[in-house]
Structure 1
């Protein structure tokens, strides 16, 4: 398969990351004592997540100082690094994670998955499946409604005290609100995921479409499975 088709197969939106989950606090390298300033381009979106409910810091703070840990994630695609890092966080540490993505759909999905972290079955179903159960759909609509209220600051209290979207531009907040509302009330007519997936595979494989099962099995065993 040519390089162009391989890149097209990955898609233009990174729904899943391409690396294993990492504990960002034990990935090597010594903590810096110098201030680290982050310049965010206008075309990307910045969301702040904190393991402490109060006292969010600015990007100009040191990467580590007196128990405070600042981590910048760019284009991670999903919250795997966040979850593994939080799982190994010490009781005395305060973690601030700055997430930058070039697609607001990815930002919305990360917020959704982090909201559902403790609902294991729902998390895995939404993380890996294109078709979901009716009860999962109800949960998705409920959570999307809460996130919509959170990003537009229309709630009397924060939906999640560990989430800060104040660094987003107003038009980005409006776009996030539109995405969440689309999850609550999908526009008619409903899409057939089977047809969408089939069209995607036809476009990606081209003349190899009729041998797609063999192509998938080859990619699984030769590229995804560790040797």
Structure 2
């Protein structure tokens, strides 16, 4: 898979999203699968090293659900071992996975929430409240091993201090914790642009035209500019984004008056947009078609389609499809997608439940 990285200088100390599109790792491993994994007598084991988000997990499991339901190919258990260097990245992946599997929220709304929390520095107030609810659920899972995620997550590979760090990160997502993400992101931009800060619009226009457009032209210039300037990648019409996305707060090492310190702030990417992870590739060729030299859909639409597709397959085992008469109206935030629960989904009994192992150290 090609990386769509424009600059590592502004990538920050922590990666909150990946630099490459999602892959079905089971399909990618074709020809390298051991006998026990091929006949499903033992789980299919995957090691993900610093994936930054859960796109590979969701894509792999949704593809497996489709193979089992629509192609009658029996699927065995999956075990994902995730290695991340920072607890913030690991905590975020637990958060994103919990959103994807939240049966209480309709699929369309859940896809919007997942993309918003994955990518945006600012959230709607309702999303901020939802994030705090997810934090409460994850803290209960860590402390008491209770809740809907407990049967899917194995934290036994974490050392006690790593588990404590994970709990501390999740605890900082509550609205009582101050996080001035607008100011802190602006400080990062000033550091990155230096003397070019006042002309940063010209700089990012150059970056888009010369670096991004040749490899990912489906990312619209307006969306790219908005994200680079404000940190907002996915916006719904008539919505106000005023609450900080506390899941993007993290600690980074630095020096103060000659002493080593850890400073809490926004240390994520300010140059390479989250569109590369979820919004530049999909399995429906209609999304990448152009008319009169212009794309008929945007990276936001592709991302929405991808996430809806993953959620739909996990719940129903069926591929998410858009009828020809609905395609033009389908866009990020549109109501063409249907909702549904997870009672009889891929996680509900048609195949052995996948287990995700989280580890910070090998």
Structure-2 change in CA distance of 1:80 and 1:135 (3 Å): same
Number of the residue aligned with 2:92? 109
5+ residue gaps in structure 1?
1-5, 35-61
Give me the whole-angstrom Cα distance separating, in 1, the residues matched to 2:60 and 2:149: 22
Do the aligned partners of 2:24 and 2:63 also contact (CA within 8 Å) in 1? yes
CA RMSD, Structure 1 to Structure 2 (Å): 2.0
User: Once the 2 structures are TM-superposed, how far is the Cα of residue 144 of structure 1 from its aligned partner?
Assistant: 0.5
Match of 1:75 among 33, 50, 58: 50
Pairing 1:129-208 to 2, within 5 Å after superposition: 129-153=120-144, 155=146, 159-187=149-177, 190-208=178-196
More relative contact order, 1 or 2 (CA 8 Å, 6+ apart): 2
Do the aligned partners of 1:152 and 1:173 also contact (CA within 8 Å) in 2? no
Pairing 1:8-157 to 2, within 5 Å after superposition: 8-33=9-34, 64-67=37-40, 68-89=43-64, 90-91=67-68, 92-117=75-100, 118=107, 119-153=110-144, 155=146
Give the SS at the match of 2:34.
coil
Give the SS at the match of 1:121.
helix
TM-score after normalising by structure 1:
0.77
Do the aligned partners of 1:152 and 1:174 also contact (CA within 8 Å) in 2? no
Q: How many residue pairs end up in the alignment? A: 191
Number of the residue aligned with 1:56? none
Give me the whole-angstrom Cα distance separating, in 1, the residues matched to 2:38 and 2:27: 16
Give the SS at the match of 1:25.
helix
Give me the whole-angstrom Cα distance separating, in 1, the residues matched to 2:54 and 2:190: 30
5+ residue gaps in structure 2?
1-6, 69-74, 101-106, 216-362
Give me the whole-angstrom Cα distance separating, in 1, the residues matched to 2:210 and 2:44: 39
User: Once the 2 structures are TM-superposed, how far is the Cα of residue 223 of structure 1 from its aligned partner?
Assistant: 2.2
Give me the whole-angstrom Cα distance separating, in 1, the residues matched to 2:149 and 2:21: 30
String of CA shifts for 1:24-66, please: whole Å, max 9, x gaps: 11125522438xxxxxxxxxxxxxxxxxxxxxxxxxxx7x253
User: Once the 2 structures are TM-superposed, how far is the Cα of residue 103 of structure 1 from its aligned partner?
Assistant: 0.7
